[in-house]
Structure formats: structure tokens, C-alpha cells
Chains A and B, each alone.
Chain A
Amino acid sequence: MNVSTAGAVQIIIRRELRLSFRRPDQLIQPLMFFLIVTTLFPLALSPQLSVLRDIAPGVLWVGALLSSLLAVEGMFRADADDGTLEQLVLSGHSLTVIVIAKTCAHWLLSGVALVLVAPVMAAALSVPAESFWLIMASLALGTLTLSWLGAIGAALTVGLKRGSVMLSLIVLPLAMPLLIFGASATDRAIHGDSAAGPLYLLGALCLFTSTLAPFAASAALRITME
């Protein structure tokens, strides 16, 4: 084999990006979901700016969590259905490397897009502009952690016909600390307080999942492929 691990990661990411741009609906749907969910809350609660500012952290994070979950379901399923997952596994590279590459691609396509759209939705919820960078940083860490957690769930449910419900049941409880620290960081940023504490905790969660999730997801994938 003369393709390095880094080369293989690069090839898989390029493949995922190209596939995604050929089918932009898969890229746009989670984003539209995020936009709609965050728009629904003001309609249901109150259009008062002070109320919107108070609910903004929760709305942004619940929206990001649910739309990430929507995107994560297809992480391995399409490849499993058309047989290309087997070809990836048989490429001579470790399954863990394949999981890392696919998760990074997934985050680049869904997480980064959410992070970029978040200021627009934050502005709509009357969040002060000076807190946008902090919100984006916390969402960047949060969506990456969600991608890692989602990879485990997607790997465990890839063989199930109606895997989306099971995927939610697996991922949502694991994502609770993320929601708590993420919403706390956003809330502090909005009120001008230091968000360092919850941001560090988000960073720690991200590091923790980045180191363990690839192994867990690859083991789950190997079991479901049998």
C-alpha cells in the first residue's frame, strides 16, 4: 500500500465534499431545519426583545443539537446501502482512520455551516453583536463534539431499518452536558460575563470525544457490518 494515512483521510474528505455538493439538499436541509426551529420559538413565546435575548442560548443550542442529529443519520448509511462502506473498509486502512475522516467531513459540511449561520439567527434573537464570536466558538466546539457522538450513534444504528429514533435515543442523553455548557457559555457571552469556564469544559468534552469516539464508532461499525 503506498497511500499514507493522511493521504487516505484527505481522499475520503474530498470524496464526501464532492458527494455533498452534488446533492446539496443534504447540506441545506439541516441548515433550514436550524433556521426554522430558531424562528418558531419567538412566534410561540414572545416577540419582546428582552425575552428573545433571554431564551436565545437555549434556542440556539437546541436548534443546533437537533439539526446536527438530523445530519448525522446519513453519515454511514448511504455508504452501507450502496456497498461502498465495504470497499472503504477493505481499502487497507484502519477503520478508525476511515471513521475520523468521515466524521471530519461531516463536521465540515454540517457543523461549520451551522456555526456560520448562527450569528444571523443570534441577531434575529436580539443577541448583541459583540458576543457573536464567542457564540461561534462555543458552537464550533459543540458541533464537533456532536459529530463525534453522532458517529458512534450512526455506527451503532447503520444496520437498523428505522435507525433515526434509536440514534436520537443514543445521542441525545450523551449530548446533555454539551447543551448545559454550551447554553451557559452563550448566556454568559450575551450578558457580557466571562465565558471561559463553560468554554473550557466544552473544549474538554470535545477533546474527550475526539480521542475516544473514533475507536468506539469503528468497533460499532465492525460489529454492525458482520
Chain B
Amino acid sequence: MKTTSTSLSVDGVHVWRGDRHVLRGLSFSVGSGQLLHVVGSNGAGKTTLLRVVCGLIAPEEGQVMWEGSNIRSDRSAYQSNIAFAAHEAALKADLTALENLRFAVGLRRTVSVDELMASMRRTGAEGYADLPARALSAGQKRRVAMARVLACDAPLWLLDEPFSNLDSAGVEVISALIDEHVRRGGSAVVVAHHGLVRRAGATQLALDE
């Protein structure tokens, strides 16, 4: 994994969605080896915040910086440093779990089937690598999506409800993966309703509606 000592910083970000002022001057930073746990009620703007950090939404005010530069200066280069797991698993129903990973990760880096299988093994998804995504349950899709995050080998993980639809064993597995990523010097911003991001150094950011 590529690791850097510099960090992600969000500085005075304001976002409106229609008439609603969703993010009001939000500022925080996440360094190498740090985890930010974002909590808040429904509609508080957690997913919007992740999309702003991804560069999918341009904030009306404020800026998102990566390694000291505004992400808008070279959005594609910045985005190659992030692994994003949205609320949807983002899998093509007609492709197998392995094919989904091969195309998604293959766009970012040259990757072998063995590496992808290793990622799936670590998330407990290796048993259904050859099944089409349409045949998978929501929890199985979530495990495949986390295998994609793992295989992307990106320094910054942005995870939107990574524990949803998972059984207790799955929650343990994904929590451990996040912990390990952070321990190895990666950064993570995790939106989770549950207080399951247990790492001692985790910072919590509460968003209010």
C-alpha cells in the first residue's frame, strides 16, 4: 500500500442540497494512520460529506485538500488515492463477484486473480467468487465491495456504512480490516451508525441535522 505522512483536510466546507444547508462550515483533518468515525442522524449529511471528500460533489464554499493541494487541481490523480465503498455495493449483477473485482480494480492497477482471491478470502467472500452478483445476498455483496476496497491498495478509505447487512462475524472481519489498514499507516473516514469502529485512536465527528 502507498502510505504518506500527509493527510486529508477539509476546510470550512459548506454544501447546500436545494434549499437545505447540509454541511455548515465543516472542518477536520485525517492524517496517516488515523481513523475518522462520522456519526449523525439520518439526513445529517454523512453521505454528502463522503461524496464531497471523494470529489463527486463540489462544495459551494471551502475546500478539500489532499497532501497540501486542493483536490480540484488534479481530481483524477487524487481519486486514484482513494478507495470508496458507497451504500450500494456497486457490483454489476451480470458479472461474477471476481469479474466485478477484476474490472474495478484492474482500472486502477495491474492485479492478478490470486491477489483478488486473497482479498476476497480476507473478507470471507472467496466462497462465492464465481457466482454472479445477482445471486448474492446484501451481506455477501458488502463483503465483495470491501474486498474491492482492500484490493485497490489505496491510502485513503472512504466507507459509507460498511457494516450494513453484515452478520456479527462479518462486522468483526471488516472492523479488523479497517484497524489493520489504519495500523499500517493508511487513513480512513468511516460513516457508521453503530459504534463499531473501536480503534483506540479513532476520532469521532458528529454531524447534526
Residues of chain A at the chain B interface (Cβ within 8 Å): 1-3, 8, 11-12, 14-15, 18-19, 22-23, 82-84, 86-94, 225-226
Contacts and interface: CB of A to CB of B under 8 A. Distances in A.
A112 B84 CA distance: 36
A87 B76 contact: no
Given A1-B109, A15-B103, A83 B93 contact: no
Given A3-B107, A8-B107, A82-B90, A91 B95 contact: no
17 contacts: A2-B109, A3-B106, A3-B107, A11-B106, A12-B107, A19-B95, A84-B90, A86-B84, A86-B86, A87-B84, A88-B107, A90-B54, A91-B79, A92-B77, A92-B81, A92-B107, A226-B56
Given A1-B80, A23-B94, A90-B54, A83 B89 contact: yes
A12 B108 CA distance: 12
B92 A84 contact: yes
B94 A22 contact: yes
Interface in B53-88: 54-58, 76-77, 79-82, 84, 86, 88
B104 interface: yes
B108 A3 contact: yes
Contacts of A88: 107
Nearest to B106: A11
Contact of B110 (A3, A15, A83, A92): A3
Given A90-B84, A92-B108, 4 more contacts: A1-B108, A3-B110, A15-B92, A86-B84
B151 interface: no
Contacts of B99: 18
Kindly state the interface size class of chain B when it binds its partner. Answer: 20 to 34
B118 to A, nearest CB: 19
Contact of A22 (B55, B56, B77, B95): B95
Interface of B: 54-58, 76-77, 79-82, 84, 86, 88-95, 99, 103-104, 106-110, 148
A93 B109 CA distance: 11
A135 to B, nearest CB: 34
A1 B84 CA distance: 16
A198 B133 CA distance: 47
A19 B91 CA distance: 12
Contacts of A19: 92, 94-95
B19 to A, nearest CB: 16
Contacts of A23: 94
Contacts of B90: 82-84, 86-87
A22 B93 CA distance: 10
Contact of B92 (A8, A14, A82, A92): A82
Given A3-B110, A11-B106, A225-B56, A91 B91 contact: no
Contact of B104 (A18, A87, A225, A226): A87
B54 A3 contact: no
Contacts of B81: 92
Contacts of A12: 107
A226 B91 CA distance: 21
B55 to A, nearest CB: 8
